[in-house]
Amino acid sequence: MLIRSGKIQFLFWTAFFSVMVYLWIVWMGIQTFVLPDEMPLEPPQNVIVLMFILYGLLSVMLMSGTVVSVMINNRYYRNLFGVLIFVAFGSLLAAKSIFG
């Protein structure tokens, strides 16, 4: 059995949950705004608040993963979190440009 240090385990689980939260945001956005049965007259407030909270949680997880990977000088997780930050920021900008 391979035993990893606590920092590497933290980076793994932070990356895992960051990807899961991002997929949750994307799935919820597509389900609510792109593929609804009928377009609502006003946007659903509860979904927008949940997406705002999830983006905040995602940004905290990505920044903490980036800081820890830089502190322990782990190139793999540093690159992974860098790509995830660019993808999350790009999707935020794309959603903002589409929906105003």
* pLDDT band with cut points at 50, 70 and 90 for residue 4: confident
User: Which pLDDT belongs to residue 18?
Assistant: 97
Cβ-based neighbour number of residue 61 at 10 Å: 23
Higher pLDDT pick, 56 / 1: 56
pLDDT digits (tens, 9 = 90+) for 40-91: 778 788 988 898 899 999 999 999 999 999 999 999 999 999 999 999 999 8
The pLDDT of residue 1 is above 50: no
Between CA 39 and CA 56 the distance in angstroms is 27
Q: How far apart are CA 61 and CA 15, in angstroms?
A: 8
Alpha helical stretches, state H, the chain = 6-29, 45-71, 75-99
Over 60: is that where the pLDDT of 33 sits?
yes
Kindly report the pTM of this predicted structure.
Answer: 0.86
C-alpha 88, offset from chain centre = 6
